[in-house]
Chain A
């Protein structure tokens, strides 16, 4: 019998037809949509006069452009309001379930999918958003697509897709105190570069991955795209199943026990072969921070900015351009560098564990006067959890205002923009030029590192604030 990787097993069982010398016709189990990348796809259906083939397999939310204040009022920006209204109209017209603005289940698409039980092991999942890779944490093939492909899925529940190559990233060893899954994935990306996994689908394995909670795993899979991978997955295990058992309901699943029995088989065969195999030592990972304008430009927080880029090209124009944009120089240390903004939230770090981590450091302390903080829960459910656990009070006492859910400053489509030239320590996923607003300077980091910066007002090592052993 041919041994297969988990990726092969899920992919192969979803191929409706293989086209000779061409892509596969891949069946999609779950399709998430949002207001920004769907309107043109619905226009396409309208022009062709065709329906949505399986409206029950698509779920919609409004997240990318919505304000994070006064959500009960009409959206002030006319174009954004129009997009959100079009989403509502399209969902109503085509019979698609929508958790829109002010709905109790609203939130960032990659936060609500898992927490509401729509993301399940073994599924194929797509969404017009590159961070769809998040859902791979449940042992799914999940990847971001363009709007033409959104239209394909709406029309036929299938997508034409070339099967990517397979990479395994194994992480063994024990993670040190004060290190989060954000640091783990940022470390991997800094080692293999922002394009090091292009053309591949990644499986994360190893003892250090197995120890992680579901939310921590989602952070890892979420950033797979930041090294160019189509997606990343983790084989489901007891951690996955107990997460699912804790959910109040799972749509479409009648007998969870028998489903879990089935899902237990979802793993790579022992002797299955990957096109590329990488091994990292989790024990050597330190808190990470980025210094440049792509997520591959990251380093340990107590390191110095390298003198050359990854390929050793001293003063390559792209490397220098990037540091110039950030206002940094090669060889510079970042510890103690002043910070203006702190953003905690996004599909990378907008879940309850992230807000608990942030709280761990700010508890009993005060926000630094020079810091403007954007604290944005990933969903209504996360917001409710924060309230129930007393985090809202704790944040308030420390001088932080908690906003309403949305993608917010991660891509700054709404009003949550970082002003030109200002430095933001951000728990989001991209430090591209202007990503958080024109001229904004983003330093990607974990919620713990963001909290340390928020208290001190400068880039600071979060390990100095952590006394108890906590992963």
Chain B
């Protein structure tokens, strides 16, 4: 697991205002055959990004030169479906560091946090407002402050608190690793095993 730190991020946004974007859309199964974590960004949203003949689909947002940034603004129920962590690797590898939505699938949230990609839940209303702003002005910037757990739309000053598990927050702020943490508990784990086998 890469040790990635996250503290403050100020960035423009890329809007993807569809509901129920599942992990098969994020990275289709036929691109899961790699054995490393790298390079999945090339196939992020593959079947929306390219036409059937393999050319860039100019109507898709990632191919629109007006939009760029490290924050993906998604629709409700983002990341549902398969548990493939490749979906998170693809989003991260493409260059996103945070995904904003009003609702994430459970496994996606875990996978994102385990890879330094911050999933931020905001209200349906604020999400709608943000989508409208970004669609009108691709220069719309947001600021994410993990320490204070605030999400701010800089142009309007809309600022909300977002939730995150305190343990995961500390891991992200300090770049800590779950496996190091679990390995440090090995004696506790072996004594648990002994009580179970009695």
Contacts and interface: CB of A to CB of B under 8 A. Distances in A.
A86 interface: yes
A19 interface: yes
B47 interface: yes
Contact of B179 (A25, A44, A145, A317): A44
How many chain A residues sit at the interface, stated as a range, is 35 or more
Contacts of A53: 186, 189
A343 to B, nearest CB: 15
Nearest to B181: A160
Interface string B1-41: 10000000000000001111010110011101111110000
Contact of A146 (B36, B80, B110, B182): B110
B103 interface: yes
A453 to B, nearest CB: 23
A156 B183 contact: yes
B20 A149 contact: no
Contact of B105 (A21, A43, A195, A317): A195
A156 B187 CA distance: 10
A155 interface: yes
Interface in A57-106: 64-65, 77, 79-80, 82-83, 86
Interface in B92-106: 103, 105-106
Interface in A168-196: 194-195
Pairs A-B, 10 closest by C-beta atoms: A22-B167, A79-B33, A146-B85, A39-B35, A144-B83, A146-B111, A148-B114, A318-B19, A21-B166, A130-B83
Given A146-B107, A413-B29, A435-B24, A83 B77 contact: no
B106 A294 contact: no
A321 B21 CA distance: 12
28 contacts: A16-B189, A16-B192, A17-B185, A21-B165, A23-B165, A27-B196, A64-B29, A82-B35, A145-B83, A145-B107, A146-B110, A146-B111, A147-B86, A148-B115, A149-B114, A162-B165, A194-B20, A195-B77, A198-B103, A230-B106, A294-B80, A296-B20, A411-B82, A412-B29, A413-B33, A433-B25, A434-B25, A435-B24
B137 interface: no
Contacts of B33: 36, 65, 77, 79-80, 82-83, 413
Contacts of B189: 16, 25, 27, 53, 156-158
A130 B81 contact: yes
A164 interface: yes
A187 to B, nearest CB: 19
A80 B196 CA distance: 39
B52 interface: yes
B110 A149 contact: yes
B88 interface: yes
Given A25-B182, A79-B33, A160-B178, A146 B88 contact: yes
B182 A152 contact: yes
A399 interface: no
A420 B25 contact: no
A38 B80 CA distance: 20
B155 interface: no
How many chain B residues sit at the interface, stated as a range, is 35 or more
Main secondary structure of the interface of A (DSSP, over half): loop
A77 B32 CA distance: 13
Interface string B150-190: 00000000000000011110000000001101110110110
Contacts of A148: 1, 85, 111, 114-115, 178
B84 interface: yes
Contact of B182 (A145, A155, A432): A155
B75 interface: yes
Nearest to B32: A36
A294 B83 contact: no
A77 B33 CA distance: 10
B192 A19 contact: no
Given A16-B188, A16-B192, A23-B167, A432 B25 contact: yes
Contacts of A466: none
A443 B195 CA distance: 49
Given A151-B179, A433-B24, 6 more contacts: A129-B82, A130-B82, A146-B83, A148-B114, A157-B189, A438-B30
Contacts of B192: 16, 27
Contacts of B182: 25, 152, 155-156, 158, 160
A23 B114 CA distance: 13
A294 B20 contact: yes
A151 B34 CA distance: 17
B116 to A, nearest CB: 11
A115 to B, nearest CB: 22
A71 B99 CA distance: 41
Interface in A9-64: 16-17, 19, 21-23, 25, 27, 36-37, 39-40, 43-44, 48, 50, 53, 64
A26 to B, nearest CB: 10
B73 to A, nearest CB: 15
A39 B38 CA distance: 13
